[in-house]
Amino acid sequence: MKHHPEKLVLQESSILMASDGTVLRKIPLPESGYRKAARLEEMPKLLVDTFLAVEDRRFYHHQGLDYTGIARALFNNALRMEVSEGGSSITQQLARNLYLNRDKNMLRKLNEASIALALEKRLSKHDILELYLNQIYMGEGQYGVKAAAEHYFGIADLKELDIMQIAALAGIPKGPSIYNPGEQTELSAQRRALVLDIMHQQGLITGEEMTAALHEEYQRPAVVKEKKVGASYIDAALTEASQLLGKPKQELQSAGYTIVTGMNMKAQGVLEETFLKPELFPPSGKSQQVESAMAIVDHRSGEVVALTGGRNPSSGDLNRAIVDARQPGSAFKPIIDYGPALESGMFSPDSMLPDQKMTYGSYKPENLNGAYRGLVTMRMALQQSINAPAVWLLKQVGIAKASEFSAKLGIKLPKEDRNLSIALGGLHVGVSPLKMAQAYSVFANGGVFREAHMVRQIKDSKGNVIYEHQSNPHQVISPYTAEQMTSMLRSVVNDGTGKRARMNRPVAGKTGTTQLDLPGISRKGNRDLWFVGYTPEWTGAVWMGFDRTDKDHYMMAGSGMAAALFSEVMSKALEGR
């Protein structure tokens, strides 16, 4: 035992909650069960006394081994010619549960006895009893009396338990699978009656109380199902919580934490339902379907209200919403070209920009349809997503200044991206939908940066708040730049490439496409489709594409499809606001 002190600290299930208090997930322990611990002082005296009466009446009179009980068990086992009675004290049961397996052999009994004696030397009776009542298996995957009270009776405060419920709980440890009240069998009813009789004999309850409890029928509480939504969101929130506390995920999941997230249940539900509709996505390829990811941020608080890393993700799947892996194409132009140009003070939405074929060293950007207009306003260049003016603008502002601007919006570019191809969203590594949503949220928020985050608060197993998100909003670009950018991005949706994002409220945003560019394939096809945009309330980013793009897996659809998906999700998620 002295080599395993960690066994005396019970693992406890952590819980994740949505912003409205809905329990999203109770994380199972490694033994595939659920435990919620309680201090002895939180337990009613009758519950503690009943467990002692049923399991170990001489608990306070022995040092770990109840020799009277052992002698009685040996006598009864000899009569029956089998090992059926254990005569185990509560300390022995705790020793067995913490350190040994379930075999009933003599060697195990000797080990159990020596560990029990050691436990009594090391811990007080109070601590042994508390550990026992929190550690004991109570059937149906529940560990400890608190988890069992919640599971079988829907009672979170143990002091609210009545006499029948206490008797039912105290009757379980003898045979968790047959005596738990959830079974609602003759056996569990008989066991409950036997415990009530013991309670009466020991003077814990009166005859009237016993009779009343015997006639009380067990009612199983309505099953409160965990909402099976947000697999990607929960994975991302756990990763974030792990970084915030500096603890590995494994420890986080079994330390009894309550992690409150910013998830909006309605938005998350709408997002996942919408992502199940195949008609909203380009057709599948030979051996893969087109994947998609979306992140929605409340730009007024920075909270991520909904997120999915795939079209039907499970826990542990690749989370495409948070992985910096995809080229943003023209959706990057507001971040790297037009935003920096407005911020420089040298340009306005009405500034005239050259729209003609230009060469910059070995870099020869081209307009998509090969058409050039000579001169266009900045607003028109963004609205129609024309390439030539965007590259020219980046050259005028300077890559260093533009990269500084991008970093202020949360996208820090590596050295490899210090070239003009970033003007059209050709990045060395790529960017995630969440980072794109966060960047655009600065435009939506009047130039104020709020860090996109999922975790609102973390409480430890005792209910103490150990982390609370502190919003640290700061003005990173001028309100003028944000306002002018919003005006230009609304033109994109109202009259430009983002028309399919329109909905029943103001929308500003930008499409993005990256072309196939595969040797030997002449057909025009696409690798990535994007739409990033915002309403007055929320900012969202949608990406679509194949995980592995090749000659059998590319899209003929354009970015209007991503814009339409954005509109479908956002309009339903914001309904009634």
Q: How confident is the model at residue 82 (pLDDT cuts 50, 70, 90)?
A: very low
CA distances from 99 to 5, 111, 140, 375 (A): 11, 9, 22, 79
Share of the chain above pLDDT 70, in %: 91
Q: Which residue has the higher pLDDT, 316 or 237?
A: 237
User: Is a pLDDT exceeding 80 seen at residue 71?
Assistant: no
Question: For the segment 244-302, what is each residue's pLDDT rounded down to a tens digit?
Answer: 999 998 888 888 999 999 999 999 999 999 999 999 999 999 999 999 999 999 999 99
CA distance 188 to 164: 12
pLDDT at residue 520 in the model: 75
Q: Extract the tokens encoding 523.
A: 């057909």
User: Is a pLDDT exceeding 70 seen at residue 411?
Assistant: yes
pLDDT at residue 14 in the model: 92
**What is the DSSP annotation of 330-397?**
GGGHIIIIIHHHHHHTS--TT-EEEES---BTTB----TTS---EEEEHHHHHHTT-HHHHHHHHHHH
Burial of 286 (0-12, 13-18, 19+ CB in 10 A): exposed
Q: How confident is the model at residue 225 (pLDDT cuts 50, 70, 90)?
A: low
Question: For the segment 508-563, what is each residue's pLDDT rounded down to a tens digit?
Answer: 999 999 998 887 775 689 999 999 999 999 999 999 999 999 999 999 999 999 99
Question: For the segment 147-156, what is each residue's pLDDT rounded down to a tens digit?
Answer: 999 999 999 9
Q: Sheet holding 538-545: strands in order across?
A: 304-308, 291-298, 538-545, 526-534, 508-515
Question: For the segment 434-443, what is each residue's pLDDT rounded down to a tens digit?
Answer: 999 999 999 9
pTM (2 d.p.): 0.82
User: Is a pLDDT exceeding 50 seen at residue 423?
Assistant: yes
CA distance 516 to 113: 71
- Quick one: average pLDDT of 490-506? 97
461 catalytically annotated: no
Helices (H), 163-264: 163-171, 176-179, 186-201, 207-215, 231-245, 249-253
pLDDT at residue 352 in the model: 98
Contact status, residue 232 vs residue 321, Cβ threshold 8 Å: yes
pLDDT at residue 85 in the model: 41
pLDDT at residue 96 in the model: 81
Q: Extract the tokens encoding 66.
A: 């109840």
pLDDT at residue 120 in the model: 81
Q: Please report how the helices 163-171 and 207-215 are oriented relative to each other, as an axis angle in degrees rounded to 10.
A: 80
CA distance 335 to 533: 12
- Quick one: average pLDDT of 83-96? 69
Q: Extract the tokens encoding 375.
A: 């001169």
Q: Which residue has the higher pLDDT, 92 or 481?
A: 481
Closest to 8 (Cα-Cα) out of 99, 113, 101: 99
CA distance 307 to 234: 9
416 catalytically annotated: no
Contact status, residue 137 vs residue 180, Cβ threshold 8 Å: no
Q: Extract the tokens encoding 82.
A: 């089998």
Given the residues 12, 13, 14, 55, select the one marked as catalytic: 55
pLDDT at residue 67 in the model: 63
pLDDT at residue 108 in the model: 53
User: Is a pLDDT exceeding 80 seen at residue 311?
Assistant: yes
Weakest mean pLDDT among 80-89, 116-125, 292-301, 445-454: 80-89
Given the residues 330, 441, 491, 559, select the one marked as catalytic: 330
- Quick one: average pLDDT of 328-351? 98
User: Is a pLDDT exceeding 60 seen at residue 103?
Assistant: no
**365 Rama sector, left if φ>0, alpha if ψ -120 to 50, beta otherwise:** beta
**For the chain, give me the number of helices (H) and strands (E)?**
21, 16
- Quick one: average pLDDT of 438-465? 96
pLDDT at residue 83 in the model: 38
Question: For the segment 387-407, what is each residue's pLDDT rounded down to a tens digit?
Answer: 999 999 999 999 999 999 999
pLDDT at residue 1 in the model: 47
User: Is a pLDDT exceeding 50 seen at residue 501?
Assistant: yes
pLDDT at residue 110 in the model: 55
pLDDT at residue 432 in the model: 98
pLDDT at residue 388 in the model: 98
Q: How confident is the model at residue 97 (pLDDT cuts 50, 70, 90)?
A: confident
User: Is a pLDDT exceeding 60 seen at residue 171?
Assistant: yes
- Quick one: average pLDDT of 107-133? 80
Mean pLDDT, all residues of the chain: 91
pLDDT at residue 106 in the model: 46
